[in-house]
Amino acid sequence: MTRRTVRIAMNGVTGRMGYRQHLVRSILAIREQGGLDLGGGDVLWPEPILVGRREHALRELAQRHGLEEWSTDLDAVLADGRTDVYFDAQVTSARVDALTKAIDAGKHVYTEKPTAADLAGALGLARRAREAGIRHGVVQDKIFLPGLLKLKRLVDGGFFGEILSVRGEFGYWVFEGDWQDAQRPSWNYRAQDGGGIVVDMFPHWEYVLHELFGRVTGVSAHVTTHVPRRWDENGKPYTATADDAAYGIFELEGGAVAQINSSWAVRVHRDELVEFQVDGTHGSAVAGLRECRVQHRSMTPKPVWNPDLPADHSFRDQWQRVPDNAVFDNGFKAQWELFLRHVYLDEPYHWDLLAGARGVQLAELGLRSSAEGRRFEVPELSL
């Protein structure tokens, strides 16, 4: 057995996503399983270098997990010829600068979404990466969730017949931060710091819709800030300058339409924090993060509208649970493994900076649609 080490500079690991999903649930989980099996007796061993702004926080993290390397000097880490991959889970507003430096240093890059604050920045990164000849990937975790993998299985198996529509409902109540702490970082609610639910969630909806049902060809959205005043991590009040809810309509290649509500100002009366209902001529499905339920046309009840009588159907009971039929790994880890196989085995990988730019494009057009009260075509991107 040959063990090859891949040294990954991980920037933003003190944050929510960087720590939990990327460091602990992905990179450390790959180490716990003995590394990534590349076949032919080769095993890839990820060696994280924790990068950030606060030395004490990085040292504490490294000690907690028995890691040896951390640094507050990104330039030095990138100048080090032993660093193979740069990973970015910083706040969105810090991303373009750091990724640009990493690409210019010839590192392979893997990054959280959105890749940039605007389309020009996102395309600029994709072009730079292509010219530098490095490998690049963007987190598109939702399609690796068990619920959406089961939904994809239904699409691929022809369960739906012709797909007519998709209804997505995402969101939960994010506390204002005064009488109960907010459960998301305050920068999410300040436009000047890269916040907003459209830039956060439309990139996800772009690849979910694209990969499952077809490319988004048109968008109209109504975007708003329902909760205008919030309290930050220090209990200080601030004005929420970013949007916290978006009501979007997405036209899809092939003719289906998707309507997705995204909100941090909604209370959950659903089974999961995100759910997609897909209706097709032959059947329908409701998929969440983990579960997926179906109703075939042959099992579709015939309710008759009559408000004078109580409902005589238990509608939820008329759906069947789709079996797992597989063991599902953490979605972030699954995508990390595919990215590392792309880098080291040259396996195909299409969740790259151009794919990331499509997400940024949809967010940009969604915001413009709302601001101008117009529907926008979504042009196909190329480099």
Ligand X SMILES: NC(=O)c1ccc[n+]([C@@H]2O[C@H](COP(=O)([O-])OP(=O)(O)OC[C@H]3O[C@@H](n4cnc5c(N)ncnc54)[C@H](O)[C@@H]3O)[C@@H](O)[C@H]2O)c1
**CB-based contact 89:12 (threshold 8 Å):** yes
Q: Is 14 in the site for ligand X (CB under 6 A)?
A: yes
> 163 pairs with which residues across the strands?
280
Using CB under 6 A, which of 6, 9, 18, 219 touches ligand X?
Answer: 18
Using CB under 6 A, which of 6, 12, 198, 245 touches ligand X?
Answer: 12
Q: How many chain residues touch ligand X (CB under 6 A)? A: 19
Using CB under 6 A, which of 90, 262, 263, 335 touches ligand X?
Answer: 90
27-35, 91-99, 280-288, 372-380 -> range binding ligand X (CB under 6 A): 91-99
Q: How far is the CB of 235 from ligand X (least distance, A)?
A: 17
Using CB under 6 A, which of 84, 200, 211, 337 touches ligand X?
Answer: 200
CB-CB neighbours of 162 under 10 Å: 10
Q: Is 112 in the site for ligand X (CB under 6 A)?
A: yes
Interatomic CA distance for residues 310 and 315, integer angstroms: 13
Q: What's phi and psi for 231, nearest 5 deg?
A: -120, 135
Residue in 55, 33, 239, 279 with CA at minimum distance from that of residue 155: 279
Using CB under 6 A, which of 29, 43, 62, 91 touches ligand X?
Answer: 91
Using CB under 6 A, which of 116, 139, 242, 260 touches ligand X?
Answer: 139
Q: What letter would DSSP give residue 174?
A: P
**CB-based contact 47:30 (threshold 8 Å):** no
Binding mask 169-188 for ligand X (x = CB under 6 A): ----------------x---
Interatomic CA distance for residues 244 and 205, integer angstroms: 16
Q: Is 362 in the site for ligand X (CB under 6 A)?
A: no
**CB-based contact 358:210 (threshold 8 Å):** yes
Interatomic CA distance for residues 160 and 284, integer angstroms: 6
Summarize as ranges the residues that interact with ligand X (CB under 6 A): 12, 14-18, 52-53, 89-92, 94, 112-113, 139, 141, 185, 200
